[in-house]
């Protein structure tokens, strides 16, 4: 039966039947291979989330969800977007902007979905931590292979990204399949092998608590042991972590850096350090540009649920996918935001000033941002705020909906908090990333 999602209706398709019929028809009608770069494009409908079944070897009974944009390019790139514990493929689809980025740049998105009760990915068993060893990584690799066959995907442009459990799986996928993935972006994760257990448990308290430490060489050896004898190129890695993460503690961030700098053979001393957003510290290792071998972003005062809209665009830049496709990337700088808070024991007030720094008027605006974990808006002014926590959209009031070039509007809200009273660190204006000052 078809499932519904919050973003668009979900259709269930007979992918296995179509996958068999299309090549059969081509063989009986044509005397030479088809010239199209995407001969099986109709295997899934476009611009909607689709569940694909019978996609290949799947030892842990994962579900595969697929998003193919109307604007899918010939030989498209593939992004595997892996959900958090308690999440699902459809939740990752509706709760992140990967599908809208696919619309813009023409790549395909795969959303693996766990069916086990915990809804967490297996990043701990011996099977998961070995190439073709079994469990979730094998199923995800089968999904990638299915997309590669069906859409003639560019095998040099396969990427993985994930949040929390999905971030841990991103580390695992890059370790197990360095010949498949070109790069990864892990939001609130842990190093490859850190969660390893041998008793069947899915949880490793020492790792989650940040007490598992190794030398860079030891961390690197764990990755290399997943695919013994492999001497080819290794995928680049981008890691994100909040300093106040109380689920997967912040020391894991430093251990990830140690691991991937060793795997990629670059110095642990940053080649560049900057602050692209207030409260962020970004370090790059092995190179100074957007595609450095390792990039690490530390978010001061932010907890485990750090992911917010705009971050996927930065991961896309790290992947190198924002300069190709049917449309150019919207560049930051068309808007500027200044945000501050005034806090007391369990509450705060926030003031947010939005400035149109572009050259044309904005008629009707929506300001997107993510509240830090533990904050809930109780009332606001100057805009309508929905929802009250998590990823929030502030929509203009009737009297301030037009912003001429170089003009500003100040809005605000009151919120409760459980200890973290900082202001949001990233903002988007009608989907475009704003500079934060």
Give 49's strand partners: 67
User: Under DSSP, is residue 390 helix (H, G, I), strand (E, B) or coil?
Assistant: coil
The closest alpha carbon to 45, from 75, 76, 72, belongs to: 72
Q: What does the chain come to in residues?
A: 437
List phi, psi (to 5°) of 63.
-100, 150
Distance between start and end Cα atoms, the chain: 49
The closest alpha carbon to 97, from 151, 161, 53, 143, belongs to: 161
Separation between Cα atoms, residue 104 and residue 326, nearest integer Å:
6
Separation between Cα atoms, residue 127 and residue 113, nearest integer Å:
18
Q: Is 156 exposed, middle or buried (0-12, 13-18, 19+ CB in 10 A)?
A: exposed
Tally helices (H) and strands (E) across the chain.
9, 23
Position of tokens 């020391």? Answer: 251
The DSSP call for residue 84 is P
The closest alpha carbon to 393, from 288, 310, 294, 287, belongs to: 310
Please calculate the CA angle 116-247-255 and round it to the nearest 5 degrees: 105
Q: Where are the beta strands (DSSP E) in 344-401?
A: 347-356, 362-363, 366-370, 376-381, 383-386, 391-396
Taking phi first (over 0 means left), then psi (-120 to 50 degrees means alpha), and beta for anything else, what does residue 128 get? alpha
Give 349's strand partners: 342, 414
Annotated catalytic residue 60: no
The closest alpha carbon to 336, from 269, 283, 410, belongs to: 410
Name the active-site residue from 135, 164, 313, 370.
164
Record the tokens describing residue 282, joined without a space: 């970004």
Record the tokens describing residue 339, joined without a space: 């945000």
Which residues have a catalytic role annotated?
Answer: 164
């Amino acid at each position: 039966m078809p499932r519904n999602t919050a973003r668009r209706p979900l259709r269930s398709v007979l992918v296995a039947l179509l996958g068999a019929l299309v090549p059969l028809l081509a063989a009986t009608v044509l005397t030479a291979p088809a010239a199209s770069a995407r001969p099986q494009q109709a295997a899934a409908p476009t611009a909607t989330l689709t569940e694909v079944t019978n996609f290949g070897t799947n030892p842990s009974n994962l579900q595969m969800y697929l998003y193919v944009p109307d604007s899918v390019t010939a030989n498209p790139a593939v992004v595997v977007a892996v959900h958090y514990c308690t999440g699902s493929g459809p939740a990752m689809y509706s709760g992140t902007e990967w599908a809208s980025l696919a619309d813009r740049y023409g790549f395909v998105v795969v959303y693996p979905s766990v069916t086990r009760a915990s809804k967490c990915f297996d990043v701990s068993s011996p099977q998961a931590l070995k190439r073709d060893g079994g469990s979730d990584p094998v199923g995800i690799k089968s999904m990638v292979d299915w997309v590669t066959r069906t859409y003639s995907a560019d095998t040099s442009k396969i990427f993985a990204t994930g949040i929390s459990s999905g971030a841990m799986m991103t580390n695992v996928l890059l370790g197990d399949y360095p010949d498949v993935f070109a790069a990864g972006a892990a939001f609130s994760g842990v190093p490859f092998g850190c969660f390893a257990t041998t008793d069947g448990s899915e949880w490793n308290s020492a790792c989650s608590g940040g007490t598992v430490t190794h030398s860079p060489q030891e961390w690197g050896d764990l990755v290399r042991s997943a695919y013994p004898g492999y001497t080819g190129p290794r995928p680049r890695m981008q890691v994100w972590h909040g300093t106040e993460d109380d689920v997967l503690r912040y020391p894991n961030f430093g251990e990830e850096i140690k691991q991937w700098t060793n795997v990629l053979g670059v110095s642990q001393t940053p080649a560049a350090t900057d602050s692209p957003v207030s409260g962020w510290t970004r370090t790059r290792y092995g190179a100074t540009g957007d595609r450095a071998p390792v990039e690490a972003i530390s978010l001061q005062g932010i907890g485990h649920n750090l992911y917010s809209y705009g971050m996927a665009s930065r991961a896309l830049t790290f992947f190198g996918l924002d300069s190709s496709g049917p449309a150019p990337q919207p560049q930051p700088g068309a808007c500027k935001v200044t945000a501050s808070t005034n806090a007391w024991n369990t509450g705060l007030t926030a003031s947010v000033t939005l400035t149109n720094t572009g050259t044309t008027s904005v008629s009707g605006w929506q300001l997107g941002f993510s509240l830090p974990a533990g904050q809930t808006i109780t009332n606001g002014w100057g805009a309508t705020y929905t929802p009250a926590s998590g990823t929030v959209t502030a929509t203009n009031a009737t009297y301030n909906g037009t912003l001429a070039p170089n003009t500003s509007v100040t809005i605000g809200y009151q919120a409760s908090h459980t200890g973290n009273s900082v202001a949001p660190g990233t903002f988007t204006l009608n989907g475009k990333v704003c500079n934060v000052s």
